[in-house]
Amino acid sequence: MTLNLRQSASSLRQQCLSYPEVLAQSVGNIAPTVAPAVNVGLVFASAGKGTCLAFLIATIGLVLVSLNIKQFARRSASPGGLYAYIARSLGPTTGVISGFALLLAYLGTASNRPIPHRAMRVWAG
């Protein structure tokens, strides 16, 4: 008995990744979002008593973005991620621009090295 399953052009093949590959993708996707949680001390040093408010506003923003991504993911499963969703809805030029913007954001986040307060005082004089 064989099942004849039809796959559309925008669906993903099931059972094609091994556990280590799925784990590596998960860690790669989580890494940019773990940084704010690890840097709570730095946020507190900058925001002081407004730290909770800053995290609350950021959380609300992330929830709104994730709700939009959820709607796109229901309609199209694509390995291209946000680029594919934006290109499909707003056109390929906007998709390319958003892809490069995301790349620059990742590079900016990865290269952000906090400067210790003592070194800042030395520079300030």
Q: Using one digit for the tens of pLDDT, what is the confidence trace for 65-82?
A: 888 878 877 777 776 677
Q: Where are the alpha helices (DSSP H) in 39-91?
A: 40-47, 51-75, 82-90
pTM: 0.48
Of 114, 64, 84, 60, which is closest to residue 10 (Cα–Cα)? 84
- Tens of pLDDT along 19-65? 888 888 888 777 777 776 777 777 788 888 888 888 899 889 889 98
